[in-house]
Every structure is written in C-alpha cells, then in structure tokens.
Amino acid sequence: MRHVLVMGICGTGKSTLAAHLAERMACPLVEADEYHSPEAVARMSRGAALTDAHRWSWLDRVADAAASAGDRSVIACSALKDAYRQRLAERLGPLDVIFLHGDRDLIATRMAGREGHYMPTSLIDSQLADLEPPEGDDVLALDISDPFGPLADAAHDFANRSRQQA
C-alpha cells in the first residue's frame, strides 16, 4: 500500500480534500499543520515564510505520524518542493501525489474567507515562489476552480488505482 499525499500551496483546499478522501477510503488522516513547531506557527502568523531549515524537522514529524498510522494514510501537506516530497518518500516509500493548484486570485479569496487559521494571505507569493509542481505517473494534478465533487471523485479514483495495483 502507498500513502496518499494531498499537496499544494496554502488555501488550495488540501485539508478539506484530504479529510474527505481519508474518510471515503477508511484510512487515517495526517494533517501536517498539526506538526508545525510553535516557533514555525508564530513565524507564519507574523507573515514570515518558512525556510528549508524550518521545514526539515516538520516533514520528519509528518512522516513519523503517517508511518505510525499504518501502511496507508492520507497526508495533507504543502510539500512545495521536490526535496520535501523526497524527504517524505524516504521515510514512507513511494507516494501517490494529488497536487491541488489554482489561480492566485481564487486562492487569495479562499484564504481571506478562512477564520482562525494562522497562515496570512501575504504568504501566497512566497509559497508560489517555492512551488515545484510534481510530475509523473504517481501524480494527479487537480485545478481547484473545478467543483469539489468531481475533484473528490477524481482523487478517490486515483488513490484506488494504486491500491488495486499493489
């Protein structure tokens, strides 16, 4: 079995899609936001972007949580750079990656409507600058301007494809 990584910049709906997918697949959800250090959360709350150095131990905690969840989980994590995804894969094995992407203005609108989240809209541009879109047969790219239902169905079909091939 393979873990499923739902990734993209802030405001693309990673948490929402990952939670839906985990429930539908009856497997654990690992929400990467829960594994940020208090210092990293404070930094982002101030509008300061995280550096690679801030992210390595966070990614290790996310991978540890997914590994402890069993042989299959759904992980909601930005995983913006190829090196971050490789860090997760080194600990978890090959990942099925669902990449959520969309128009910057749509993402900003979504983020402006969120309540109680530490990530300010001012960090969209730094996340877009860091983003290295994933490619390959183990990647499904989904445009968030599409309705949620078809996105969720496509994500579920993609994740089940790898389960049937395992």
pLDDT at position 124, please?
78
Q: Which domains, ranges and CATH numbers included, belong to the chain? A: 3-165 (3.40.50.300)
pLDDT higher than threshold 70 for residue 133: yes
Question: Which residues are 77's β-sheet partners?
Answer: none
| Mean pLDDT value across residues 126-146 | 93
DSSP summary character for residue 96 = E
Assigned token pair, 159: 């994740």
Q: How far apart are alpha carbons 139 and 159 in whole angstroms?
A: 10
Q: How far apart are alpha carbons 119 and 76 in whole angstroms?
A: 15
Q: Is 75 left (phi over 0), alpha (psi -120 to 50) or beta?
A: beta
pLDDT (tens digit per residue) in 69-93: 988 999 999 999 999 999 999 999 9
pLDDT higher than threshold 60 for residue 12: yes
pLDDT higher than threshold 70 for residue 53: yes
pLDDT at position 9, please?
84
Q: Rounded to two decimals, what is the model's pTM?
A: 0.90
pLDDT grade for 121, boundaries at 50, 70 and 90 = low
| Mean pLDDT value across residues 57-64 | 95
pLDDT at position 163, please?
57
pLDDT averaged over every residue in the chain: 88
Q: Is 8 helix (H, G, I), strand (E, B) or coil?
A: coil
| Mean pLDDT value across residues 136-147 | 95
SS (H, E, C) the chain: CCEEEEECCCCCCHHHHHHHHHHHHCCCEEEHHHHCCHHHHHHHHCCCCCCHHHHHHHHHHHHHHHHHCCCCCEEECCCCCHHHHHHHHHHHCCEEEEEEECCHHHHHHHHHCCCCCCCCHHHHHHHHHHCCCCCCCCEEEEECCCCHHHHHHHHHHHHHHHHHHC
| Mean pLDDT value across residues 23-27 | 95
pLDDT grade for 47, boundaries at 50, 70 and 90 = confident
Q: How many CB atoms lie within 10 A of CB 110?
A: 16
pLDDT at position 1, please?
74
pLDDT at position 143, please?
96
pLDDT higher than threshold 70 for residue 48: yes
